[in-house]
Chain A
């Protein structure tokens, strides 16, 4: 249904420069054979093919006309040819080419001050913009065209412009403006061009239908059909009958709908208009369905599908033909260009040879100079480049190493980790079973703890491998979190103080790991050996040092006796490996204090 409306629009938009409609192509061709220099005749042939829908043949003829009329400086014919080529491309949907040709034609028309053609070309360009849905541009072109048409008092052009503006307004759903425009067009057509009156009424009928003013729509449709029959335009009559049928379907009057559709079918069959048939069958199917006659509805639906297939296959056959012609044309064109090129080459060859000798001389001199510069540059550059390459390579190796380490760590994490977790979980579970012998319970407890420690160590390792985590603030956060979590399970009170804010400075992951391990070890010692009830933990950043002090109120020990103790020595070594200092203060019964001092510039990544 929609399709028919669209066809109606395009019908009038394009002005044709041809009177050849009824002439038989055979006689045209025969005549053209007799007088091959008659480009007027060739133009007629081009237009004929265009009307028949054989676009490739049409373009072939029209392009030839362009060539010859350019040679003969026949501007009038050139303009017509450009315009019609534009029409062909527009019909083919290749709107950009169409625009190009209309603009060429417009240039000629403007240089000749040919106002009629300027106006109609502007209108045609407006149509292109309308199909691109660039409505403001379309309206702008129509407006200009209309102004010129008014100047030369060409009422049919004015009416066309009105109509086209109506189409744009309708698409913008500005129905009031659309109706006004259509009525304006109708007014002109009534005076001058009775052929188009039917179309104008039909357009108005469509707008009324969109506005749901069905009474006015019926009225306009009836006027349109009356005029179409009078003027003998059968295609149009059939289309309008279908539109009326459709309207009655919407008005819930299937009986009337079917009546009008049948009229449409009769005419459409007569003139072989399958594009209308498709639509009518669809309308009929709708109408019968509304009437409750599902059998007929189904039949029409089937016919609709059948007709659609036919239409599509006819279309595609046409396309195949077009492609064939196009292919042959291109082949011929290629042969011609080849011949032309050969000719050109021979004339240029002599010129070329002279030029070549001169060029060669310059080239030799240039190459020599270049070689000299290159040799010098290589000599000086090579040592520098080597150094740079080496550095880059080292960096790449380091990066790959790091990635690989991370990957392996993750694998271990996933495989070993889940296994260890399971051991921990199950042993813990068994431990809670109080029916077991104390000895077994103790063993199980130690299995569980070992697994738990392994899991935790692994977690720390993986965690420290991730460069995101190795920043100063992260280290402090980790220490803070760990100490409160760890001591929570024991009857020990934790007092702590931390800097209020720490910058997220990246630090070496080794330093990160060592510091954290030492803090863990300290807390572990307190829990295991000190019997302390209070732990005081202070983390400070003073000038360029990080200090961590951990004091407890536990048993303490004599530092002289413990100097050789491997646990404490190990802690000291770890800290001094990252250029820090670890000092221990302790006396029996007076608790223990451990102080770690790390110079920040030694652990910060530069």
Chain B
């Protein structure tokens, strides 16, 4: 079955070439493209897409806010952030608001397709910076409570990633398959998102 993709990107040339790339590749189908977050918020919930490529810097609402609004309505859709750089802060914010992965615009087109397949199959990329940010974030929030929610294995994975190890190395070191490492990472992302959602709730209803 084809992977259905949507693109949210304000630069027309990049948007169009991405669409051509995706539609021209076997197994992919770009269903729709949007040039603003506002438009995406209106239409994406109806489209039931597999993967959405989302630019961070958009006119009006940012891509991060866009994901935060869409994620609760599109639980089956995976959001892949596109940034000019691996700007750790923005990427981290995006991951917190519900993105499951990110890629930089310097990524080769063939790797973009790889990333789409990967995220669709339940993988989530994580660099050492992001892993580091996660560790500090989990440590700061709620006096360690959130970090305690991670399983022992998840903590191990996160720590090794933050030391610069790649998936395969992590897998070898922990005697796991790379597939299991990928699952762990996806779970860590989900815990981070749940954590930031409850954080938001606590702000509205202080205990």
Contacts and interface: CB of A to CB of B under 8 A. Distances in A.
B17 A480 contact: no
B106 interface: yes
Nearest to B166: A484
Interface in B162-186: 162-166, 169
A421 B106 contact: yes
A253 to B, nearest CB: 42
A477 B105 contact: no
Contact of A418 (B57, B164, B169): B57
Contact of B84 (A421, A478, A485, A498): A421
| Chain A interface main SS type | helix
A429 B164 contact: no
B128 A421 contact: no
Contact of A425 (B14, B128, B132): B14
Nearest to B11: A422
Nearest to A432: B109
A428 B106 CA distance: 9
B109 A422 contact: no
B202 interface: no
B117 interface: no
A471 B166 CA distance: 20
Nearest to B21: A429
B53 to A, nearest CB: 12
Interface string A483-508: 01100000000000010000000000
A451 B85 CA distance: 12
A426 B129 CA distance: 27
Interface string A58-71: 00000000000000
Nearest to B112: A425
B207 to A, nearest CB: 22
Given A424-B106, A473-B163, A481-B166, A413 B127 contact: no
B86 interface: yes
A422 B86 contact: no
Nearest to B20: A429
B108 interface: yes
A417 B85 contact: yes
B198 interface: no
Interface string B103-126: 011101110000000000000000
A458 B163 CA distance: 22
Given A421-B106, A422-B14, A477 B132 contact: yes
Interface string A444-458: 000000011001101
A51 to B, nearest CB: 47
Given A421-B105, A425-B17, A452-B106, A477 B85 contact: no
Contacts of B57: 414, 418
Contacts of B105: 418, 421-422, 424-425
A462 B86 CA distance: 11
Interface residues of A, number: 32
Contact of B14 (A420, A426, A481, A485): A426
Contact of A455 (B85, B128, B169): B85
A426 to B, nearest CB: 6
A485 B129 CA distance: 14
B85 A413 contact: yes
Contacts of A469: 129
A594 interface: no
A429 B22 CA distance: 12
A478 B128 contact: yes
Q: Looking at A417, A452, A481, which has the most chain B CB atoms within 10 Å of its CB? A: A481
B109 A428 contact: yes
B24 to A, nearest CB: 10
Nearest to A430: B17
Contacts of A452: 106
Nearest to A481: B164
B174 to A, nearest CB: 14
Interface residues of B, number: 26
Contacts of A474: 132
Given A425-B105, A429-B21, A474-B132, A480 B14 contact: no
A484 B169 contact: yes
Interface string B6-22: 00000101100100010
A477 B84 contact: no
Contacts of B86: 459
Q: Looking at B21, B86, B163, B164, which has the most chain A CB atoms within 10 Å of its CB? A: B164
Contacts of B108: 428
B109 A417 contact: no
B144 to A, nearest CB: 18
A426 B128 contact: no
A481 B127 CA distance: 8
B13 A480 contact: no
A590 B127 CA distance: 35
A188 to B, nearest CB: 47
Contact of A417 (B14, B84, B110, B165): B84
Interface in B85-113: 85-87, 104-106, 108-110
A556 B152 CA distance: 45
Contacts of A523: none
Given A413-B85, A421-B104, A477 B162 contact: yes
A476 interface: yes
Contacts of B169: 484
B76 to A, nearest CB: 28
A315 to B, nearest CB: 36
Contacts of A455: 84-85, 106
Interface string B45-89: 000000000000100000000000000000000000000111100
A469 B164 CA distance: 13
A438 B104 CA distance: 27
Nearest to B127: A481
A479 interface: yes
Interface in A408-438: 413-414, 417-418, 420-422, 424-426, 428-429, 432
Contacts of B104: 421
Contact of B164 (A428, A451, A458, A480): A480
B185 to A, nearest CB: 15
A233 B52 CA distance: 77
Contacts of A428: 108-109
Contacts of A420: 84
B34 to A, nearest CB: 18
Contact of A476 (B85, B87, B127, B164): B164
Contacts of B84: 414, 417-418, 420-421, 455
A456 B106 contact: yes
22 contacts: A413-B85, A413-B87, A414-B57, A418-B57, A421-B84, A422-B13, A422-B14, A424-B106, A425-B105, A426-B13, A428-B108, A429-B109, A451-B106, A455-B106, A459-B86, A462-B85, A477-B163, A479-B164, A480-B164, A481-B164, A484-B164, A485-B166
The 10 closest A-B CB pairs, nearest first, are A480-B164, A477-B164, A421-B105, A481-B164, A421-B84, A418-B84, A417-B84, A477-B128, A484-B166, A481-B128
Given A429-B21, A456-B106, 6 more contacts: A418-B105, A421-B104, A455-B106, A462-B85, A480-B164, A481-B127
Interface of B: 11, 13-14, 17, 21, 57, 84-87, 104-106, 108-110, 127-129, 132, 162-166, 169
